[in-house]
C-alpha cells in the first residue's frame, strides 16, 4: 500500500534553479537539489523535461541554485514557481548577478548560492537529473534560515506546481478519501486555485492571515468555484 502522506516526511529545501547566459536566462522553484559526491563536490538538480529551464541547462551546461529563506515573498514563488519563462522574462527586474560561467544567479530572498557545471545527465522518465560539479558557492545573508518544503507547506500553505517531482495527482489522494466532499477556491487576483482535494486542509480552516502562495492576495480575495 502507498500512503502518500508518508512521502511528505522526506525533507527538502526550496531553491531557485537558474540557467542561461548574460543575454537570456530562466529559473524555476525547485525542492530537489542535493549534494551527491564529496570529492569532487557534485550537486544534483532535478528538473521536469517540460520545464523551460531544462532547455537552458541543456544548452549552456551550467546551472545555479539560490537558497531561499523562510520569509521569501509570495511574488517570488508565484513568478518562479507558477509561471513559465515561455510567457515572460522571469529574470527581468530581479536582482541578478552572473557567475564565473556566465550563469545568471537570482539574489532576491536568497541567503546562499551555488554554481555548477553539468558533467552528466540522468533521464528518470518525466524528469532529468542534472549532475553538476561545483564551480563556486557563497553566503549572501547569514542572518536568515533556509526555508524547507515542510515549512512552505505547513506554515505558508504552499503547494507544489504540476511539474515538481513531488507533485501529487488529485485523483490519487481522492482514492483514499471516499465519502468526503472537497471544494475549490479561486484567487480573484491571479486565478490560482486552492483545491482542497490535494491539500488535506479545508480552505475555511486556513488561518485568517493566510495569503495566496502565488500573488500574496488575502484569503478574503478567494471565492468558491465548481469542482
Residues near a copy of itself (CB under 8 A) are: 1-7, 9-13, 15, 32-44, 46, 65, 67, 111-114, 120, 122, 124-127, 129, 131, 134, 136-139, 146, 148-150, 164-169
In the bound state with a copy of itself, the residue whose beta carbon lies nearer, of 176 and 191, is 176
Closest C-alpha among 86, 74, 53, 73 to residue 190? 74
CA 53 to chain centre: 12
In the bound state with a copy of itself, the residue whose beta carbon lies nearer, of 168 and 206, is 168
Minimum Å gap between C-beta 155 and a copy of itself is 13
Per the listing, cell 480573484 goes with 188
Minimum Å gap between C-beta 204 and a copy of itself is 23
In the bound state with a copy of itself, the residue whose beta carbon lies nearer, of 116 and 215, is 116
Output the nine-digit C-alpha cell for 121.
Answer: 545527465
Spatial CB neighbours of 176, under 8 Å, sequence gap ≥ 6: 4
Closest C-alpha among 31, 77, 68 to residue 147? 68
**C-alpha atoms less than 13 angstroms from C-alpha of 115 in its C-beta half-sphere:** 20
Output the nine-digit C-alpha cell for 7.
Answer: 512521502
Distances in whole angstroms, Cα of residue 203 to Cα of each of 23, 73, 130, 185, 219:
42, 21, 37, 8, 9
In the bound state with a copy of itself, the residue whose beta carbon lies nearer, of 36 and 193, is 36
In the bound state with a copy of itself, the residue whose beta carbon lies nearer, of 12 and 63, is 12
Minimum Å gap between C-beta 68 and a copy of itself is 10
Minimum Å gap between C-beta 163 and a copy of itself is 9
Minimum Å gap between C-beta 83 and a copy of itself is 20
Amino acid at each position: 500500500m502507498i500512503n502518500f502522506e508518508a512521502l511528505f516526511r522526506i525533507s527538502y529545501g526550496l531553491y531557485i534553479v537558474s540557467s542561461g547566459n548574460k543575454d537570456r536566462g530562466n529559473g524555476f522553484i525547485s525542492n530537489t537539489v542535493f549534494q551527491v559526491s564529496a570529492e569532487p563536490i557534485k550537486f544534483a538538480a532535478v528538473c521536469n523535461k517540460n520545464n523551460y529551464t531544462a532547455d537552458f541547462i541543456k544548452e549552456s551546461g551550467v546551472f545555479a541554485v539560490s537558497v531561499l529563506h523562510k520569509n521569501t515573498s509570495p511574488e517570488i514563488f508565484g513568478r518562479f514557481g507558477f509561471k513559465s519563462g515561455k510567457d515572460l522574462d522571469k529574470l527581468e527586474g530581479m536582482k541578478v548577478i552572473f557567475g564565473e560561467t556566465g550563469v545568471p544567479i537570482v539574489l532576491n530572498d536568497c541567503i546562499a548560492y551555488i554554481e555548477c557545471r553539468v558533467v552528466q545527465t540522468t533521464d528518470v522518465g518525466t524528469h532529468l537529473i542534472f549532475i553538476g560539479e561545483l564551480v563556486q558557492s557563497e553566503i549572501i545573508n547569514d542572518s536568515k534560515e533556509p526555508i524547507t518544503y515542510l515549512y512552505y507547506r505547513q506554515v505558508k500553505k504552499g503547494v507544489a506546481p504540476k511539474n515538481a517531482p513531488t507533485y501529487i495527482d488529485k485523483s490519487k489522494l481522492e482514492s483514499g478519501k471516499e465519502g468526503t466532499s472537497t471544494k475549490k477556491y479561486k484567487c480573484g487576483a491571479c486565478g490560482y486555485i486552492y483545491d482542497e482535494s490535494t491539500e488535506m486542509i479545508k480552505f475555511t480552516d486556513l488561518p485568517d492571515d493566510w495569503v495566496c502562495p502565488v500573488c500574496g492576495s488575502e484569503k478574503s480575495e478567494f471565492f468558491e468555484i465548481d469542482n
